[in-house]
Structure 1
Amino acid sequence: MLAEFRIINDPLRPSISTNLCAVCCRNKEKDSKQIGCCSYEPEFCLFDLVYLYLHYPDIYHSVLEKGQIIEGYNGIMVETKVGLNHCPFATNRGCILPKDAMTPLCRLYICREAAIFGPAIIEERFDEYFSSEEYRLNKYLNSKLVHDQSFTSAKLHNFIVEFSQPINSIIAKIDRINPPIETFHKEITIETFSI
């Protein structure tokens, strides 16, 4: 089998993907426990929410309506799930979200089992998120949000609406047209990956 890795170097919403997810032994079709990466609930940070509000309003409203506000690794976030630990956007064909609508973790994480067949820069690209413009804007939004016990989805929505235009002005200056794409291929045996 030819293992493929694709890195889209979007200066605002970079992503990494591999075809190995489709043949993962923890894939939903192959494991009734559904313990693969995409079985867990996505956590949308404040910048994700502003980005969705600006570019994917239907997805934004769905996330806000069905999600739960939490304090996570990236500040205030909205966690979405179906039942117990299942991503509502994961299907048998993969994620139904556009790549730039995914959370940073979903866009940049490749499991260790797959990453060993990819280029060494995969881990670096994940680490680069914490020095990115996207991360900086998320920290800025968290610094402006007053979060207390009475915080509701309606208050979060008002906050997102208030900050969407200033954030849009900032991201409009970032050239995202035709971002460089790096591809890597490696011949492997499926048994090697399944271990």
Structure 2
Amino acid sequence: MLAEFQIINDPLRPSICTNLCSVCCRNTNEGKKIGCCSYEPEFCLFDLAFIYLHYPDIYKLILEKGSIIKGFNGIMVEMKVGLNHCPFASDLGCILPKDALPPVCRLYICREAAIFGPPILEDRFDDYFSSEEYHLNIYLNSKLTLETGVTNSGLHNFILQYSETVKNMIAEINRDNPPIETFSKEITIENFGLIL
């Protein structure tokens, strides 16, 4: 099998793709998702503003079904819906557009897959913390008032209030034709997933 990796150096929403996710030995176990897609995605404030601007139907679903939490990235909405896997995971992969994925989903490659890719993969998630989107998320968290707590309707009003500002900030970032790095390696499928 040819293991393929693609690093998309979008200055706002960078991502890593690999075809190994589709053949992950941990992907199913008697019908239960047990790989990376067994986790509930967590959308930070910037994710919500970006998705509101570009994918309003997805935004509406996230806000209706998600729970507001204080996470590693400030205020976040977790899609905890009582499932054993991400609500956006399907048999064909993730149904979300690539740039609608939260940072962990876009930039994390498990050790079992990363071992077949270039060494640079391991540093990609850390790069998030110096990215434009991280700084925009910090900005939004600094504007959110937590004195009375945050409700879904309050969060929605906040996103509405700052969406035009975020749109203008995004417009300043040149995202045309981001550099893409590709890497491939012939592997034996039996060797994938041995580092469990």
TM-score (norm 2): 0.95
Corresponding residue number in structure 2 for 1:162: 161
Corresponding position: 1:6 with 2:9: no
Mapping for residues 76-155 of structure 1, pairs under 5 Å: 76-148=75-147, 150-155=149-154
After superposition, the Cα gap between the structure-2 partners of 1:170 and 1:154, relative to the gap in structure 1 and judged at 3 Å, is same
Conserved in 2, the CA contact under 8 Å of 1:25 and 1:31?
no
Between the aligned partners of 1:26 and 1:85, the Cα distance in structure 2 is 13
Q: CA deviation at 1:81?
A: 2.9
1:18 deviates by: 0.5
Q: Which residue of 2 aligns with 1:54?
A: 53
The residue identity in structure 2 corresponding to 1:101 is: A
8 Å Cα contact 2:42-2:102 kept in structure 1 = yes
Q: For residue 86 of structure 1, report the CA deviation from its aligned partner.
A: 2.1
Is 1:68–1:79's contact at 8 Å kept on the other side of the alignment? yes
Q: CA deviation at 1:85?
A: 4.3
CA RMSD of aligned residues (A): 1.2
1:161 alignment partner AA: L
- Contact 2:113/2:193 (CA < 8 Å) preserved in 1? no
TM-score, normalised via structure 1 length? 0.96
Q: Which moved more, 1:155-164 or 1:31-40?
A: 31-40
Q: Deviation of residue 32 (structure 1)?
A: 3.4
Letter in 2 for 1:24: C
- Residue 194 of structure 1 aligns to a residue whose secondary structure is coil
Counterpart residue number, 1:187:
186
Q: Distance in 1 between matches of 2:149 and 2:193?
A: 47
Preserved contact between residue 33 and residue 84 of structure 2 (Cα < 8 Å): no
Unmatched tracts of structure 2, length 5 or more: none
Q: Is the 8 A contact 1:47 1:141 kept in 2?
A: yes
Cα distance, 1:150 vs. partner? 4.0
| 1:125 shift after superposition | 1.6
Per-residue deviation, 1:16: 0.1
TM superposition shift of 1:83? 1.4
Q: Which residue of 1 aligns with 2:71?
A: 72
Aligned length: 194
Which 5+ residue runs of structure 1 have no aligned equivalent?
none
Tell me how far 1:194 sits from its aligned partner. Answer: 3.0
Task: Determine helix, strand or coil for the equivalent of 1:78.
Answer: strand
Kindly provide the amino acid, as one letter, of the partner of residue 142 in structure 1: N
Match of 1:35, as an amino acid?
A: I
Q: Is the 8 A contact 2:68 2:152 kept in 1?
A: yes
The superposition leaves residues 33-86 of structure 1 with CA deviations (integer Å, 9 ceiling, x where unpaired) of 421001110000000000001111110010000000000010000000331442
Structure 1 segments of 4 or more deviating over 6 A? none
Q: Which stretch of the first structure deviates more once superposed, 137-146 or 32-41?
A: 32-41
Distance in 2 between residues matched to 1:193 and 1:86, nearest whole Å: 21
